[in-house]
Structure 1
Amino acid sequence: MQKHNRPTVADLLSLKGKRQLTMLRVTSLEEAEAAQRAGIDMLSVPPTLLGPAFREAAPSPFAIPGLEYGDYVSAEEYMREAFKALKAGGDAVYCAASLAIIRRMRDEGIPVCSHVGLIPSKATWTGGFRAVGKTSISAFEIWRQTKALEEAGAFAVEIEVVPGDIAAAISQRTSMLMISMGAGTGCDAQYLFADDVLGSNRGHRPRHAKVYRNFAAEFDRLQNERAAAFAEFADDVRSGAYPEKGHEVAIDRQELEAFLRLVAEQTL
């Protein structure tokens, strides 16, 4: 395994207000390895991606596996999965569950990153998939939620699709690491999904996403090449062009004749 010098929670918190950190959501070992090469600071990952192969691919980034809201119910279930994720190579866990559950995990020393603003799993409470915090009342509610998470023991919070001025004001007033997803430059980290960065997402592209490559077009090209290769294989089989002699296993002529004699004797 490659030597690494992965940052700790304390390391990340010490950088608050000093420089912007980078964070990506990756879902494959190839994306994780590319993030390692690019020097990305933090990775959001599905728990199933963790393990020795993940840390071989990405030994240095701080990894935050997500404990998806609704997949677990009790604090015990969340803690069991959190410990499993940490043992598999995670450095903290993402959790958008209740303050009581976050507090329980913090009491056990589990670093927790939570969520405010637009929380996809709870979007019905804030009007759907839209910006949050555009009025003083709704912005104050985000501030209240942030402070409650801080008191519960979260070390970081993803703040999603909130006006930049609001996010900056909140970030300046909390000791937690504030991770911006479409919430401006006044936070401590900038977070995007690899699918958006690579242009591989064919569906809705959020306003805050920036596309750096067009993987969708490349996937189309590769799919066309895949279908063409399969068609050529089928044509070769039908025409007798495949397999050729070079694709077959040869046998000594004497051994073949001996085999045929044995078969003939068995069929008498």
Structure 2
Amino acid sequence: MSIYHNRPLVSDIRAMKKRGEKISMLFVTTPDEAAAAAEAGIHMLSIEGRFFDAEMREAAGDCFVQVGLPYGGWGSFQGRPLATGEDYLRAAFHYAALGGDAVYCAASYDIQKLLCDNHIAVVGHIGLIPSYITWTGWRAVGKTADEALALWHHTQMLERIGVFGAELEVVPDRVARYLTENSSLVMLGMGAGKYADAQYLFTEDVCGYGKTHKPRHGKTYRNFAPELERLQAERIAAFREYKADVDNGGYPADQHSVAIQDAEFDAFMTAARA
């Protein structure tokens, strides 16, 4: 695996926050997406652990990569769900060895602290947290004074235990601004307005090929959907033609087969029949 001397460190990302520089971030799932993001100069990538390997790290180039640790029933590591602090720590060290720059972890405070205490760079989550969704529903979080205060307390706790950043998802912009400006956490905003330190989108929204509901904060810059549908139709047509060719004996033809000299074949047959 290559060593990326220009890859930013946590200290570089924190310095960008301090200087007020805007940070771009994308969620990617394939090496092609990661390579395109690197070529475009995207600062940070979010990659789920199930997609992260040496090929993905290579493709990500100089991007800072946050690797998402699977949460309980949401995924598994080495064939088993993460449940204990030791499970999370083992997974975090595994992804760090592959070149992950930080891990995303939305587990309990004690598990997050365990990772931080072992010098793992940890990104937490504030606001709409998918793994906690049964408690909030799919909605903006922080639109009441009580909820906004709870977000602030959550921010303070993450800061105390050593988390360096947090995904700040679907939070009112003025609340997001307060959290961002009054915390050392690097706030990775997704639907949190323009005051977050980073703007974070999913590639499927940026490129227009998402199959699920497009969120309010999503923005499509290119619409890949018609082209992907065309390619899928062409793929199906090619497969059908191939099957028909096999069915009617049109494939393989002579040019697709390996020949043997007559003399060699005759010698083989004589030996085989002996």
TM-score w.r.t. structure 2 length? 0.89
Which residue number corresponds to residue 9 of structure 1? 10
Which residue number corresponds to residue 194 of structure 2? 185
Which residue identity is paired with 1:11? Answer: D
Which residue number corresponds to residue 155 of structure 1? 164
Unaligned residue ranges in structure 2 (runs of 5+): 73-80
1:261 CA drift (Å): 4.2
1:262 CA drift (Å): 4.3
Which residue number corresponds to residue 54 of structure 2? 52
What do the CA deviations read for 1:180-215 (whole angstroms, capped 9, x no partner)? 000001010011111222222112111111122333
| Residue number among 145, 153, 170 corresponding to 2:154 in the alignment | 145
Unaligned residue ranges in structure 1 (runs of 5+): none
| Residue number among 60, 68, 71 corresponding to 2:70 in the alignment | 68
Change (3 A) 1:164 1:249: same
Which residue number corresponds to residue 114 of structure 2? 104
1:18 CA drift (Å): 1.9
| Residue number among 214, 217, 234 corresponding to 2:223 in the alignment | 214
| Residue number among 95, 106, 111 corresponding to 1:85 in the alignment | 95
Which residue number corresponds to residue 75 of structure 2? none
In 2, are the aligned partners of 1:24 and 1:42 still within 8 Å (CA)?
A: yes
1:176 CA drift (Å): 1.1
What do the CA deviations read for 1:71-124 (whole angstroms, capped 9, x no partner)? 422222222211111111111111112222222222221111100100011122
Return 2-11 or 254-263, whichever deviates more.
Answer: 254-263
Q: Within 5 A, what are the aligned runs for 1:218-229?
A: 218-229=227-238
TM-score w.r.t. structure 1 length? 0.91
Change (3 A) 1:244 1:40: same
Which residue identity is paired with 2:198? Answer: A
Return 44-53 or 114-123, whichever deviates more.
Answer: 44-53
Which residue identity is paired with 2:217? Answer: H
Which residue identity is paired with 1:13? Answer: R
1:2 CA drift (Å): 6.8
SS of equivalent to 2:38: helix
Q: CA RMSD in A?
A: 1.8
Q: Quote the Cα distance in structure 1 between the aligned partners of 2:184 and 2:101.
A: 19
What do the CA deviations read for 1:27-59 (whole angstroms, capped 9, x no partner)? 111211111111111111122333332222122
In 1, are the aligned partners of 2:176 and 2:193 still within 8 Å (CA)?
A: yes
Identity rate, percent:
47
| Residue number among 179, 182, 201 corresponding to 2:210 in the alignment | 201
SS of equivalent to 1:15: helix
Return 170-179 or 97-106, whichever deviates more.
Answer: 97-106
